[in-house]
Amino acid sequence: MVHLLDGERALTTEVTVIPTPGHMPGSMSLVVVSQGQRAFILGDVFHGPAQVTEPDWVFSFDMDAALAVRTRIDMLDRAESEGAAMAICHHSGFGKVVRTGGRRYWQGL
């Protein structure tokens, strides 16, 4: 059985699916909340930690480059404001967004 999702939707009290368009049509990511901690599992929203500092760098496989850039910036804003950890594709482990000198950087956890 297939359930198509549109927009942000809670799957359980701990897991919410969020749209993260740009890389591929219909791309979705997960927000996981447990014991007061929050993490975003972002798949191909970011293709490496350098895009945390340079979110406008376009990956050649992003289907809609402008939308992918907007999604990266939106997710950085959200992760930073919510103090959430992030897991990004093509990079092992989790990290957080930190600000130094007015710029964002990836800090591994």
pTM above 0.85, yes or no: yes
40-72 exposure pattern, b = at least 16 Cβ within 10 A, e = fewer: bbbbbbbbebebbeebebebeebeeeebbbebb
Percent of the chain with pLDDT over 90: 75
| Residue pLDDT, tens place only, 25-71 | 889 999 999 999 999 999 889 988 999 999 999 988 899 999 999 99
Q: Provide the token pair at 98.
A: 């930190």
Tally Cβ neighbours within 10 Å of residue 32.
16
From the CA atom positions of the chain, what is the Rg in Å? Answer: 14
**Strand 94-100 to 28-34 pairing:** unpaired
Please report which confidence band the pLDDT of residue 92 belongs to, taking 50, 70 and 90 as the band edges: low
CATH superfamily of 9-108: Ribonuclease Z/Hydroxyacylglutathione hydrolase-like (3.60.15.10)
